[in-house]
């Protein structure tokens, strides 16, 4: 239960994902299509996978519990918009090989 609340809280508070690759893609794919991004902290791991127009965020808590969040995404220049299946939406910016959500940094794999 606590894991679910933590993950939902993280998703609701995400603000920024970004990519400054110089492209002006707005087709939902951009340079994120087919890529995987990972974040590890305190034994917990988050993995974002992009397959246009969909994304999946798999969160594995340090105790082994996992949760998958899904939705669609769109890219316009360096702005990335995530639209979660639960109706929430987050907008952010990509910079090089890093995606950042409210200080949570994911690195391209």
| CATH number (domain holding residue 28) | 2.40.128.50
Give the count of domains, the chain: 1
Q: Provide the domain limits for residue 99.
A: 2-108
pLDDT digits (tens, 9 = 90+) for 24-73: 444 445 589 999 999 999 999 999 999 999 999 999 999 999 999 999 99
Residue 26: per-residue pLDDT? 41
Under DSSP, is residue 97 helix (H, G, I), strand (E, B) or coil? coil
Distances 10 to 15, 57, 96, 104 between C-alpha atoms, Å? 10, 11, 23, 9
Cβ within 8 Å of residue 57, ≥6 positions away = 11, 46, 47, 48, 49, 68, 69, 70
Phi-psi region of 43 (alpha: psi -120 to 50; beta: other; left: phi over 0): left
């Amino acid at each position: 239960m606590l894991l679910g609340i933590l993950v939902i809280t993280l998703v609701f508070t995400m603000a920024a994902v970004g990519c400054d690759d110089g492209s002006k893609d707005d087709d939902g794919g951009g340079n994120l299509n087919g890529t995987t991004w990972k974040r590890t902290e305190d034994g917990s791991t988050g993995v974002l996978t992009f397959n246009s127009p969909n994304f999946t965020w798999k969160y594995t808590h340090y105790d082994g519990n996992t949760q998958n969040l899904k939705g669609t995404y769109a890219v316009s220049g360096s702005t990335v918009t995530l639209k979660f299946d639960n109706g929430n939406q987050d907008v952010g910016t990509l910079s090089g090989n890093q995606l950042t959500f409210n200080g949570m940094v994911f690195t391209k794999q």
